[in-house]
Amino acid sequence: MARPTNAAGADVTGNGNTATDNPAASSDHVNLVYFSSVSGNTHRFIQKLGRPAARIPLYPRDAPLTVHEPYVLVLPTYGGGDGDGAVPKQVIRFLNDPGNRMLIRGVIGAGNTNFGEGYCLAGDIIAAKCHVPHLYRFEVFGTPDDVTAVNEGLEAFWSTQLTAA
């Protein structure tokens, strides 16, 4: 089974670039890719999901993440929700890789309802540009109800993706 790698070809499951660092996760299908800033809000949400996930590197000096299987992207909205800079630069860099962009199947947005109309705007932007569904929106680092909804939604989503293939 193909696994996410960085530009050097190193496997990034179970090495700190993932939300889960346990042996079961390193052998599972990784179908979540996420970006989290230094605040770690999105990372905390991903950890609560308990699913294998690959993290888009925070710093430009870090080797970029390359995926080899279809995935759902989880990302926060930046810039106060006014649209300028809503999508983190690291996510843009990740999606500028044609292979990574080709494998995106959906988006889950994180945001802050204080942004009003800009709530989870980055998810809307990526969904529109990549022609994939914006599957779910959650605030800051999510509630237990968000975790349940996302886990159940991902199960249903991947089931329909496999059926459609």
pTM of the entire predicted model: 0.82
DSSP secondary structure letter of residue 88: -
Q: What digits encode the pLDDT tens for the residues 30-88?
A: 799 999 999 999 999 999 999 999 999 999 899 999 999 999 999 999 876 566 789 99
- Assigned token pair, 36: 């989290």
Q: Which domain holds residue 27?
A: 5-164
pLDDT of residue 125: 95
Is residue 23 within 8 A of residue 79, CB to CB? The reply is no
Whether 15 shows a pLDDT value over 50: the answer reads no
Q: Give the pLDDT mean for 120-142.
A: 95
CATH number at residue 9: 3.40.50.360
Whether 96 shows a pLDDT value over 70: the answer reads yes
State residue 34 phi and psi, 5-degree precision.
-140, 160
For residue 144, give the H/E element and its range: helix 144-164
The span from the CA of 71 to the CA of 5, in Å, is 14
Whether 26 shows a pLDDT value over 50: the answer reads no
- Per the structure, how many domains does the chain have? 1
- Residue 127, sorted as left (phi over 0), alpha (psi -120 to 50) or beta, turns out to be alpha
pLDDT of residue 53: 97
Q: Exposed, middle or buried: residue 11 (CB in 10 Å: 0-12, 13-18, 19+)?
A: middle
Predicted confidence band of residue 7 (pLDDT cuts 50, 70, 90): very low
